[in-house]
Amino acid sequence: MSQQVQAKASVGAKELTAMMTLFVASSVFLNYPQYAAESGLEAGWMVPLISGVLTLVLFLIVEGVLRRYFPGLDIVEVTKRAFGSFAAILVALLIVVYFLIDTATVVREFTADVITTVLPSTPILVVSGLFTVVMCTVAYYGLEGVARLSYFVQPILIIGILGACVLTMNWWHPVQLLPLWGTGPVSVAFAGVRFSSIFINVLLLCVIYPHAHDAGSLRAVGVGSITVATLLLTVFMASLLMVFPAHQATESPFAMYQLGRMIRIGRWVQHVESIFVLMWVMAAVVKMSITLWGAAYILSSAFSWPTFRPIVPGLGLLALSLCLWPEDVAEVGLIDRNYVLSWGWTLVFALPLLIVLLGTLRSTNHREGRRV
């Protein structure tokens, strides 16, 4: 497939919304609930809410500038037009490295979840290798394949998350959400900003801009996916903190699994946590496929390669190597929390905002200079 054909390939607003929503909402299966609970304690449910509001504001700014001044261009092409090919390559490499680290982190965390809960005797290389093969296969089919798979998986994920919340209502203790601000307004607000990088869909939307079926609908895609994902994360965190005391919620890295184990519907419906393991796998495949495709596409765009497909297996193997580098999952958690999540906002928000604003200023000055 040539670069021109790739540029014309379109994905509908529903598929894009499903893909972006699932990408963020799947964080409930990872360590994010534990980090939010540690940062806010009883107010841990406010952390994703603050992150979502901040993300929505920044996305509207970036999307508005892209739509007005750089229609039909992704973030790398904007950089190339405004600052030249060398700058575009540097930006592309930064984003690719971040995507690969994020992919590797997710592979290792999901692998640890599966091994710890259902496959304790299986070697880590077998589970992570299977994840890598599947995500490379999905990413190879491009944005269309990932988006359509997301559209199929999204209802299952949403029903699963809300189901886990509703079916544990008999364990809810709303008083556990008090005091209202938990660790304090400043601490909770700081955590919301610090962990806002889970909304990588802002950066992804800047990447997939040329592939939108209707570029004008990209705002609705971003607003819809950010809003739905924020609500899902907020409701899940509130339910988790009403079932488990705040300090207990900070001790488990498998929040969804622990919540699923609390579900009891009479004598006959128990131990339904195995269902959530299946949802883990589906969410993991989609989430990892999105960032892997994004890394491959950005490289092909920066270096003007005719297609991204030949480098997908190589990037997949690189992500697999990175995920096996840490000695244990505890070290992965430290890397994820202290670096990927804590500083990811510099690439997820600051970089696109800086590029589009400086690019707009540079283009405007260039046009005015030509008139003079």
Q: Which of 203, 222, 157 is nearest to 22 (CA)?
A: 157
Residue 272 lies in a domain: yes
Confidence check: pLDDT of 8 > 70: no
Residue 369 lies in a domain: no
Task: Give the orientation angle of helix 142-166 with respect to helix 124-140, to 10 degrees.
Answer: 120
- 231 versus 75: which is more confidently predicted? 231
Q: Which of 54, 352, 29, 26 is nearest to 190 (CA)?
A: 54
What rounded mean pLDDT belongs to the chain?
85
Return the sign of the alpha-carbon dihedral for residues 31, 110, 143, 355: positive
Residue 319 lies in a domain: yes
Lowest mean pLDDT of 93-107, 143-157, 199-213, 234-248, name the range: 199-213
For residues 281 and 287, give the distance between their C-alpha atoms in angstroms, rounded to a whole number: 10
The number of domains in the chain is 1
pLDDT at residue 366, as a whole number: 57
- Per DSSP, the residues of 141-198 read THHHHHHHHHHHHHHHHHHHHHHHHHTTGGG--GGGG-STTTT-HHHHHHHHHHTGGG
Q: The domain that contains 109 carries what CATH number?
A: 1.20.1740.10
pLDDT at residue 346, as a whole number: 86
- The pTM of the full predicted model, rounded to 2 decimals, is 0.88
Q: Which of 130, 150, 153, 128 is nearest to 141 (CA)?
A: 150
Domain region containing 345: 3-359
Residue 248 lies in a domain: yes
Confidence check: pLDDT of 53 > 90: yes
For residues 95 and 270, give the distance between their C-alpha atoms in angstroms, rounded to a whole number: 44
According to DSSP, the residues that pair with 265 across neighbouring strands are: 269
Residue 371 lies in a domain: no
Residue 368 lies in a domain: no
For residues 125 and 323, give the distance between their C-alpha atoms in angstroms, rounded to a whole number: 10
